[in-house]
Structure 1
Amino acid sequence: MIDRRLRVLQAVARHRTLTAAAEVCRLTPSAVSHQMQALARELGVVLLEPAGRGVRLTAAARTLLAHGEILTAQWERTRADLAAHRPGDVGGALRFCGFSTAAAAVVPQALERLRREHPALRLHLHETEPARAFDLLAAEDTDIVVVVATPDIPPASDAAFDQQVLFDEPLDVLVGPEHPAVGREDVALNEFAADPWICSQPGRAYHQLVMLACTSAGFAPDVAHHADEWDTGAALVARGFGVALVPRLAELPARHDTRRVPICAPPAPIRRVIAAVRAGSEAQPAVAAGLDALRRVCASRAELSGHVSAVDPSRA
């Protein structure tokens, strides 16, 4: 019931180019351009202006987007209210998007709870990078995303989404068995400033995580090798080719002889794991059940392991 062209305009606003918006919306750039021109003609205003290789939103476009976010959120709330008129157990499809170890750590356990407590639900998990997960959420191609907070995702103030903090997880430095930091208890991250580093490809969430952690500690890491898989990174670390930053919950291959070094001296690096849904959809029965399952799994992990700290969403 919401004009689909508003979704396209939202994608243009997030990505700043018609080409990127077209990829997200599964359209051609010419189709995106045509839709934006047609919408502008119907409304009698200019929506987009050229800006270098991209486009810039006009004041009219921003006004339209603000009203569009209200309309979209209200439609999501309407669907939640209509669900009360459908008898029976919580059912339908519930789609999750997750990122790497953030997804592996909690989403499968949440899915297990949902399968047991709401057998009528059809569950699906899609693993993808955090920024892409939000594109899928905005396009209504997924319902709940569980990702690491990075600079690439929308800010918590973005009215199109409702973001909730699930937990904060410490990051450890992974070193080889002969590294001088092995066995120490008062290590600071900046002590690894002279080490070669192993990190994922630029542009990926893990790369951003490492860069931010090291920058906060006062140095820029010398990235000697790029590895997107924990297996490859651990193999390089075990053989003395560098150090890496790993989440506390990440399960590393046992065949590689590595050691985890917790960072005790401030600033101790962490990664924040969040859940996000479309604004207004959190009261829909399936989405509400999914969020509740995630929160319970995270609370149980924090209580049992002490490796993560669950965060009260009202104080995050």
Structure 2
Amino acid sequence: MIDLRRLHVLRAVDHYGTVRAAAEALHFTPSAASQQIRQLGRELGVTLLEPQGRRVRLTPAAQRLLAHADDIQARWELAERDLRADDDEPAGLLRLAGFPVAVTALLAPAAAALVTRHPRLTPRISEAEAGECFDLLFTGDADLALVEAKPDEPPRDRARFDQRSLLDDPFDLLVPAGHRLAARERVDLAEAAREPWIVPSTPCTCRTHVLSACGAAGFTPDVAHDAVNWDVTIALVAHGLGVALVPRLARVPASAAVVRLACEGEPRRKILTVTRPGGRARPAVAAALAELERLVPTMLAV
């Protein structure tokens, strides 16, 4: 009989990349994590760890086992839910995670609506970037996450996470009030090629989106200022220090001395909902996904 706890340690090593990183995430010592995997190997009659210099790595047998481990974990979670389900009413703790703009524009209003619609449900939100979201899902500390897909990069760990598109979030050009383009309703991004630009600093997925959009328009932006927080970007634009591409989900205060312009071709980023396999069948998660779908159209008007 396979010990699912030991199997989870093996999955953690694969997820985090090293025994040390997996042990830290699971609050084990590296030696204890290695021992758990060796014991699992003895139970199965195979070797799951082999030396690699001063470290160890997963063997081909371990990789073959991992091909089944995620299915085993998903089936076990479904079995637990079936046993605990009294009815189909969403109830209990629902752990949500997402990057800052997703929290403010989507998860916060969705959680508020869920509390009203389903009084037995308790949403808990964690602000987290994509890598952290996947870790929270893996450890069971999140049930549903919103992540920003990286351009030209396949979804992470396809078999381990259920990733589906929620919306395509367009980028708008933000210019100071009184700017030569401010009276326009829509602009070609190439018209801002010679402007000073405010661009998200590295490492940041949005920076990749902005540089890709400018490259597609035929220019490399002259970066005058770096900013990660959209409020900072808006303030810099309002003071006439440059122009910027801002995702539609990022709210711009009506009092800000800026003008938001739609772009020809609508450069955009994809926002994904991510759960563990089978997670969408849980009534609380299904209710949250339905609420997010209701919110999306209201968030994308200029």
Calculate the TM-score normalised by the size of structure 1: 0.80
CA distance in structure 1 between the aligned counterparts of 2:193 and 2:20, rounded to whole angstroms: 39
Q: Following TM superposition, by how much is the alpha carbon of 1:24 offset from its aligned partner in structure 2, in angstroms?
A: 4.2
Could you list the runs of 5+ residues in structure 1 that have no partner in the other structure? 308-316
CA distance in structure 2 between the aligned counterparts of 1:35 and 1:200, rounded to whole angstroms: 43
Amino acid aligned to 1:3: L
CA distance in structure 2 between the aligned counterparts of 1:22 and 1:152, rounded to whole angstroms: 32
CA contact (8 A) 1:2 1:72 kept: no
Match in the other structure for 1:287? 285
Amino acid aligned to 2:83: L
CA contact (8 A) 2:150 2:205 kept: yes
Match in the other structure for 2:189? 189
CA contact (8 A) 2:188 2:263 kept: yes
CA distance in structure 2 between the aligned counterparts of 1:193 and 1:30, rounded to whole angstroms: 56
Q: Following TM superposition, by how much is the alpha carbon of 1:227 offset from its aligned partner in structure 2, in angstroms?
A: 1.8
Structure 1 residue 248 corresponds to structure 2 residue 248 = yes
With over 3 angstroms needed to count, the CA separation of the structure-2 counterparts of 1:205 and 1:45, relative to structure 1, is same
CA distance in structure 1 between the aligned counterparts of 2:172 and 2:219, rounded to whole angstroms: 17
Calculate the TM-score normalised by the size of structure 2: 0.83
CA contact (8 A) 1:214 1:220 kept: yes
Structure 1 residue 79 corresponds to structure 2 residue 77 = no
Q: Within 5 Å, which residues of 2 pair with 1:85-234?
A: 86-87=86-87, 89-150=89-150, 155=155, 158-234=158-234
CA contact (8 A) 2:47 2:59 kept: no
Q: Following TM superposition, by how much is the alpha carbon of 1:279 offset from its aligned partner in structure 2, in angstroms?
A: 0.3
Alpha-carbon deviations, 1:7-28, whole Å to 9, x = none? 4443443443445445544555
CA contact (8 A) 1:162 1:276 kept: yes
Match in the other structure for 2:47? 45
Amino acid aligned to 1:293: E
Q: Which moved more, 1:140-149 or 1:30-39?
A: 30-39
Alpha-carbon deviations, 1:150-181, whole Å to 9, x = none? 26997177121222222222110212234333
CA contact (8 A) 1:170 1:270 kept: yes
Q: Following TM superposition, by how much is the alpha carbon of 1:72 offset from its aligned partner in structure 2, in angstroms?
A: 1.1
CA distance in structure 1 between the aligned counterparts of 2:207 and 2:245, rounded to whole angstroms: 10
Q: Following TM superposition, by how much is the alpha carbon of 1:37 offset from its aligned partner in structure 2, in angstroms?
A: 5.0
Match in the other structure for 1:296? 294
With over 3 angstroms needed to count, the CA separation of the structure-2 counterparts of 1:3 and 1:152, relative to structure 1, is farther
CA distance in structure 2 between the aligned counterparts of 1:279 and 1:38, rounded to whole angstroms: 27
CA contact (8 A) 2:199 2:207 kept: yes
CA distance in structure 2 between the aligned counterparts of 1:161 and 1:20, rounded to whole angstroms: 20
Amino acid aligned to 1:70: D
CA distance in structure 1 between the aligned counterparts of 2:187 and 2:200, rounded to whole angstroms: 24
Alpha-carbon deviations, 1:42-77, whole Å to 9, x = none? 5422446649x9986543232121111110111122
CA distance in structure 2 between the aligned counterparts of 1:29 and 1:219, rounded to whole angstroms: 49
CA contact (8 A) 2:187 2:262 kept: yes
Could you list the runs of 5+ residues in structure 2 that have no partner in the other structure? none
Match in the other structure for 2:236? 236
* Segments ≥4 residues shifted beyond 6 Å: 53-56
With over 3 angstroms needed to count, the CA separation of the structure-2 counterparts of 1:190 and 1:65, relative to structure 1, is farther
CA distance in structure 2 between the aligned counterparts of 1:120 and 1:68, rounded to whole angstroms: 33
Amino acid aligned to 1:283: A
With over 3 angstroms needed to count, the CA separation of the structure-2 counterparts of 1:213 and 1:26, relative to structure 1, is farther
CA contact (8 A) 2:49 2:56 kept: no
Q: Following TM superposition, by how much is the alpha carbon of 1:250 offset from its aligned partner in structure 2, in angstroms?
A: 1.6
Alpha-carbon deviations, 1:224-279, whole Å to 9, x = none? 32222222211212223222211123222445422212111x3x211222211110
Query: Structure 1 vs Structure 2: percent identity of aligned residues?
Result: 43
CA distance in structure 1 between the aligned counterparts of 2:295 and 2:217, rounded to whole angstroms: 31
Q: Following TM superposition, by how much is the alpha carbon of 1:287 offset from its aligned partner in structure 2, in angstroms?
A: 1.9
Alpha-carbon deviations, 1:199-230, whole Å to 9, x = none? 33312333333234334444443433222222
Amino acid aligned to 1:290: A
Amino acid aligned to 1:45: T
Provide the aligned C-alpha RMSD in A.
Answer: 3.2
